[in-house]
Structure 1
Amino acid sequence: MSDISNFSGLGGSGASELFQILRDGRPRTKTELAEQMGLARSTVTLRIESLMELGLVGFVDEAVSTGGRPSSRIALKAGSKVVLGVDIGASHLRVALTDLSGLRLREAGRTIEVGQGPDVVLQSVVELGNELLDESDRAAGDLLAIGIGVPGPVEHRTGRPINPPIMPGWNGYDVPGHLQDHFHVPVLVDNDVNIMALGERNVAWPGVDNLIFVKVATGIGSGIVSSGMLQRGADGVAGDIGHIRVHSGNGVPCHCGNQDCLEAVASGPAVAAKLRALGLDAHSSEDVVRLVAAGSTEAVHAVRQAGRDVGEVLSACVSLINPSVIVIGGSMTLTGEHFIAGIREMVYSRTIPLATQHLQIVQSGSGLDAGVLGASMLAIHHAMSPQRIDAMVNGLSGQAAS
């Protein structure tokens, strides 16, 4: 499994380097590990013992022997530790407890408005997280990390939301600090589209290292995976395609202060506004979906044009990033093929054949699960990184010394 967080290399040493080899879940003998690492078997044994003491690896079935005593094999104990994945939406909250392979063990959710503020929403996260840990009979030490996705821009270095337009009261709020006070583990926070890119890639495209996930709903944004790494950019706003200007706009104002931004022209509410101007009863993405399902010609044409507008921006992204897959998610995908057909029309006509000859443009396969799954993967990648494994092993040494 490729690590697409900021902890993707084998930058650790000792037990952590050994653990990175075992992360794939494939059992290996001590001899195999010693040969792969170029170390003495006795050295590998000491490092395995440290990881076993942490509960991260263990012996599995016996390996085939070439004579004499069979060799025991060591593998990742995916179920020994857990993480929490948290998906905070505009009007919903989902929390999942997963093991180190990303398997969901338990899940809970609530309908809650993000506009109620961080204290109210994060208190619900604490309550649901504690419920899931209690129901699964997990000790406090079994939880390794928490991953969170929020519907707004995030300063990745601090995990604080930065001027999120639909999250009043959240600007600069110390989300990691709030939850660390309750759970005492590392807390990773990212915007929802980056989180969804992680989830979609892990569930549907695990072998794809160059992917763009695009969410088109109330807003528009994208998460970019390039060379197996999630790209956040210098200030954490990589993929913010919703505020690129498109040519089909007619001076439509955007909440960012500019005009004719993609989000102001092609998002669900933007399409609804166009249909209202034609005399149709449309006020939201759900209304647009309803009208398309009812066979409204005006709605179909508006949705197709919105797809073209998104495709115009994505055609430039394809030339710049050269992904092999573009995944389209969000409520506008519920309009069926009309929306994605408009995207394909523009991308394939405006991009050189070399960049599109193997390109797939598809609807999200993970659907509403992408957010909570991605949040879990964010936590897992951090918890299993060389830095964190080294810290845990050093903690064992400190306990032994005291």
Structure 2
Amino acid sequence: MRMRTEEAAGHAILGNSGEILSLIATGTATSRSALLELSGLSRVTVTQRLNALIAAGLVRETERTVPSGGRPTRVLSVNERAGFVLVANIGETFIRLAAMDTEPSIIVESTIPFNAADGPQHVLEHLAREFDRLIARSRASHPFLFGLGISLPTPVDFKRGCVVGPSVLHGWDEFDIAGWMRERFGVPAYVENDVNLMTIHEHRQNYPHVDDMIFIKAGTGIGSGIVSGGRIFRGAQGAAGDIGHIQFESADPPLCRCGKFGCVEARAAGWAIARDLTKRGFKAENARDVVELVTRQNPEALMLLRAAGRVIGEVASDVVSILNPSLIVVGGTLARSGDFLLSGIRELVYQRCLPLATRDLQIVLAYPHKDSALFGAAYLAFYDIFSRQKVDELLARFAAPEGRSAARPSPPGTANVPSAS
């Protein structure tokens, strides 16, 4: 009876530890003194709640230390071995999947074929079965499933977790992907556009101190993500940043995949450049083929890519004039061509924008990373799950019988969860 009473008391303390866990997970407070200052709780209460989190295996003291006015104190961190998130990036013909810990870093990963014509129900069932395999491979070392995130190559209504058309995923419109996944796995599920997730990864991983930036993905399609005030900006329905379908008037506007004429994408995307190269007698089907021809110094490919850079630069100059970012990062397959694309973008931005908007503006290439959308999905999921508004739900799941069965390892390493944009 006494053991049951002590266990119940421990669970009660753990259940009240949400604020402490959120402060640690988001990196807002990484020491005991910082927890005291920011929580406003008494030293005894902070100690009790922190000890409960450590005993549960959710938090640990790392080997790193920070000055404390006396003896250095150890840095507190989420225990990266406590659990994992499942993430998937749905591409054109394949789906990349992974289980990631809270750093985040990949625990296990896999790839499965994808055909959008199979429809959402069939694809999600296949995806869920592969997630089951990743769970089985991850549980022994990382017992608790925190949640899951899915990246889609299409406009997404983030609040509702569904695709909104027109898009390359024909027949997926309005299907409740997030709800389907929540029902299947019983954990928080997030669905987001791939460009926004690439933006989140680029921001958190490489430019965490930049408050206002634009990420432009130049690949098979054209899109952008916006970071404003340090957070991803989605707009009212999640359509913010869709620069690929801004239309330019001309005498003979090209037809876009969306069914309209004159879109930026129809002029500058990888598929559009490949189309124009094919008309000139070159073998090119996609953005990778374009980059291959550029690498071989093909004059027509170089000319078309530079022209594409100027088209992207034209729309980017409007974005700069409206949002006044301090940084533009250009990624995607076409960005692998380096300055051939970037020079065209810079030319138009600096030519069209006022000096005040471009005085401190940097325009750079993204750090190459094939899994940036996967990592962005992990950042996004962890940020919401550990947020002050959601962390109590996490602790309730963790304290349930299936959560209590989790092991309590505390290996070397750190695992603060950087705030997602």
1:87-117 Cα distance to aligned partner (Å, 9 max, x none): 1111121112111221222222223233332
Q: Work out whether 1:148 is the aligned partner of 2:159.
A: no
Q: Which is worse superposed, 87-96 or 356-365? A: 356-365
1:6 is matched with: none
Conservation of the 8 A alpha-carbon contact between 2:18 and 2:388: yes
CA 1:204–1:249: 2 relative to 1, 3 Å? farther
2:135 is matched with: 133
Q: Distance in 2 between matches of 1:152 and 1:301?
A: 29
CA 1:365–1:72: 2 relative to 1, 3 Å? closer
Q: Which is worse superposed, 52-61 or 350-359? A: 52-61
Q: Which is worse superposed, 162-171 or 189-198? A: 162-171
Shift of 1:289: 2.1
1:268 is matched with: 270
Q: Work out whether 1:28 is the aligned partner of 2:31.
A: yes
Q: SS of the counterpart of 1:374?
A: helix
CA 1:16–1:279: 2 relative to 1, 3 Å? same
Query: What amino acid is aligned across from residue 106 of structure 2 in structure 1?
Result: R
Q: Work out whether 1:295 is the aligned partner of 2:292.
A: no
Q: Work out whether 1:175 is the aligned partner of 2:177.
A: yes
Query: What amino acid is aligned across from residue 31 of structure 2 in structure 1?
Result: R
Shift of 1:270: 1.3
CA 1:35–1:207: 2 relative to 1, 3 Å? closer
Identical columns (%): 37
Q: Distance in 1 between matches of 2:59 and 2:113?
A: 38
Question: What value does the CA root-mean-square deviation take over the aligned residues?
Answer: 2.9
CA 1:241–1:32: 2 relative to 1, 3 Å? closer
CA 1:117–1:396: 2 relative to 1, 3 Å? closer
1:5 is matched with: none
Q: Work out whether 1:231 is the aligned partner of 2:230.
A: no
CA 1:174–1:60: 2 relative to 1, 3 Å? same
CA 1:163–1:65: 2 relative to 1, 3 Å? closer
Q: Distance in 2 between matches of 1:117 and 1:316?
A: 37
Q: SS of the counterpart of 1:386?
A: coil
Conservation of the 8 A alpha-carbon contact between 2:220 and 2:270: yes
1:352 is matched with: 354
Return 5+ residue gaps in structure 1 as ranges. Answer: 1-12
Alignment of 1:243-262 (within 5 A): 243-246=245-248, 250-262=252-264
1:90 is matched with: 92
Shift of 1:205: 1.9
Q: Distance in 1 between matches of 2:227 and 2:311?
A: 22
Conservation of the 8 A alpha-carbon contact between 1:210 and 1:325: yes
Conservation of the 8 A alpha-carbon contact between 1:26 and 1:75: no
1:178-210 Cα distance to aligned partner (Å, 9 max, x none): 222332101000111111111222222222222
1:38-94 Cα distance to aligned partner (Å, 9 max, x none): 3211222343245346532234569799999x9887542233121112111111211
Q: Distance in 1 between matches of 2:338 and 2:105?
A: 29
1:246-269 Cα distance to aligned partner (Å, 9 max, x none): 356732222434321101111112
Conservation of the 8 A alpha-carbon contact between 2:29 and 2:38: no
Q: Distance in 1 between matches of 2:202 and 2:336?
A: 17
Query: What amino acid is aligned across from residue 113 of structure 1 in structure 2?
Result: N
Conservation of the 8 A alpha-carbon contact between 1:214 and 1:222: yes
Query: What amino acid is aligned across from residue 149 of structure 1 in structure 2?
Result: S
Conservation of the 8 A alpha-carbon contact between 2:109 and 2:134: yes
Q: Distance in 2 between matches of 1:278 and 1:91?
A: 27
CA 1:80–1:276: 2 relative to 1, 3 Å? same
Shift of 1:145: 0.9
Conservation of the 8 A alpha-carbon contact between 2:294 and 2:337: yes
CA 1:328–1:71: 2 relative to 1, 3 Å? closer
2:417 is matched with: none
1:207 is matched with: 209
Query: What amino acid is aligned across from residue 388 of structure 1 in structure 2?
Result: K
Q: Distance in 2 between matches of 1:238 and 1:384?
A: 25
Q: Distance in 2 between matches of 1:67 and 1:318?
A: 48
Return 5+ residue gaps in structure 2 as ranges. Answer: 1-14, 402-421
Alignment of 1:96-135 (within 5 A): 96-135=98-137
Conservation of the 8 A alpha-carbon contact between 2:215 and 2:331: yes
